[in-house]
Amino acid sequence: MKSWLKATIAVSLSAVVALGLSGCSNPNATPSTTAFVPHIVVVMGNEGPSYEATLKAAAETAAKKLGAVLEWHGETLNGTAKAQAAVVYQAVQDKAQGIILMPVDNTLQQYVDLAGGLGSDMVNLDSHVTVLDHVFANLYDDANQGGIKLADSIADSMDYKEGKQYEIAVGISKATDMVTRTRLSGFNYELGAKYPGIKVVATVESKASANQAASAVAKAFSANPKLAGFVALDEFTASASANYVQQQKIRIPLVAYDATPEHVALLQKGVFTHLLSQNPAQKMAAAIAVIVAHQMTGAKPQSRDQLFESVLLDKSSSKADLKKYSYLPAK
């Protein structure tokens, strides 16, 4: 594992224990003398391969450091809420002490309530169900703010001028995905509020598939020859749009979510103008830490909702920041 990732996880774990658990409901809690190893189940959502690899490495390191058994379910990467629900239900049957879920839509609400109601520490990561009564911790970066940042980024990259008209395309994972809807909400709000001259003429849906993304991106460019920019709200359409403009020798601004190693290299080459890193390692390490602390000592986080800031990278970013905020390579 990259040394910077180990350091990031170590900092995150110490911060959670020192800060996130301060003011807990049981401040005098002490570790049990009984040999006990928390069982934590991670249920992935519609994540890109590099993002998942970074999350998994962080989870494995944190679980090993803190003494937990980790059960990883990445098969939901191209799956559905139904697939997620089946894994969560089985985790409940297995009496897992912790469940880290990245719910793709609100049909997971009943399973979150079931798990939390029966005593599992239910953590929502990145996205969350609407009613958080049975959610032990909700760890996220502000997807709405992320959409706003990318709206500002594409306008800046196109050198937006009042009175001029610009056509752009937007890439998403799945229209029904909660994170996608939140990102789009912020993005569309910012366009309407500050950049009325920018018109979205095509929305490309990858469905978390590289092949689907490549086909949809090509169609969007062919159908809209006047595109002045492309905004990728997911890893798949980011890769597809970058590949397309390089193959076709098209020079338009590209901005995207997620700092995969490949995308960071393309940022340095000028193919991307901006990338948004979500700090996945910090979030996952914190999720493992709050569960282990609660199960081993009874300590609860000071706040259920914990916001992790996303970081915007561009051509002016230092080499240190590019290294720090880049994800791991896809497995």
Regarding whether 271 and 149 lie in a shared domain, the answer is yes
Regarding whether 165 and 49 lie in a shared domain, the answer is no
Residue 95 DSSP SS3: coil
Distances (CA, A) of 177 to 3, 105, 140, 188: 33, 6, 15, 16
Find the domain containing 76 and state its range.
3-141+281-309
Regarding whether 234 and 300 lie in a shared domain, the answer is no
Regarding whether 285 and 207 lie in a shared domain, the answer is no
CB 330 within 8 A of CB 236: no
pLDDT digits (tens, 9 = 90+) for 140-160: 999 999 999 999 999 999 999
pTM of the complete model: 0.84
pLDDT reported for residue 122:
98
Residue 245 forms part of a structural domain: yes
Residue 152 forms part of a structural domain: yes
Residue, of 77 and 286, whose pLDDT is higher: 286
Regarding whether 262 and 239 lie in a shared domain, the answer is yes
Residue 23 pLDDT greater than 70, yes or no: no
Regarding whether 286 and 238 lie in a shared domain, the answer is no
Residue 328 forms part of a structural domain: no
pLDDT digits (tens, 9 = 90+) for 128-142: 999 999 999 999 999
Judge residue 242's burial from the number of C-beta atoms within 10 Å of its C-beta, 0-12 exposed, 13-18 middle, 19 or more buried: buried
Regarding whether 293 and 250 lie in a shared domain, the answer is no
Question: What average pLDDT does the segment 216-243 reach?
Answer: 97
pLDDT bracket for residue 77 (50, 70, 90): low
Residue, of 164 and 16, whose pLDDT is higher: 164
Residue 194 forms part of a structural domain: yes
Q: What's the chain's average pLDDT? A: 90
CB 88 within 8 A of CB 110: no
Question: What average pLDDT does the segment 22-31 reach?
Answer: 43
Regarding whether 136 and 11 lie in a shared domain, the answer is yes
pLDDT reported for residue 76:
63
Residue 177 forms part of a structural domain: yes
Regarding whether 106 and 166 lie in a shared domain, the answer is no
Residue, of 159 and 78, whose pLDDT is higher: 159
Residue 33 pLDDT greater than 70, yes or no: no
CATH number of the domain at 20, please: 3.40.50.2300
Residue 329 forms part of a structural domain: no
pLDDT reported for residue 16:
47
CA-CA distance, 238 to 33, in Å (whole number)?
A: 50
CA-CA distance, 24 to 29, in Å (whole number)?
A: 9
DSSP state letter for 77: G
Regarding whether 105 and 159 lie in a shared domain, the answer is no
Query: Count of domains in the chain?
Result: 2
pLDDT reported for residue 15:
46
Residue 321 forms part of a structural domain: no
Question: What average pLDDT does the segment 36-64 reach?
Answer: 94
Regarding whether 291 and 209 lie in a shared domain, the answer is no
For residue 249, how many other CB atoms are within 10 A of its CB?
A: 6
Residue 317 forms part of a structural domain: no
pLDDT digits (tens, 9 = 90+) for 180-202: 999 999 999 999 999 999 999 99
Residue 41 pLDDT greater than 50, yes or no: yes
pLDDT bracket for residue 75 (50, 70, 90): confident
Regarding whether 161 and 12 lie in a shared domain, the answer is no
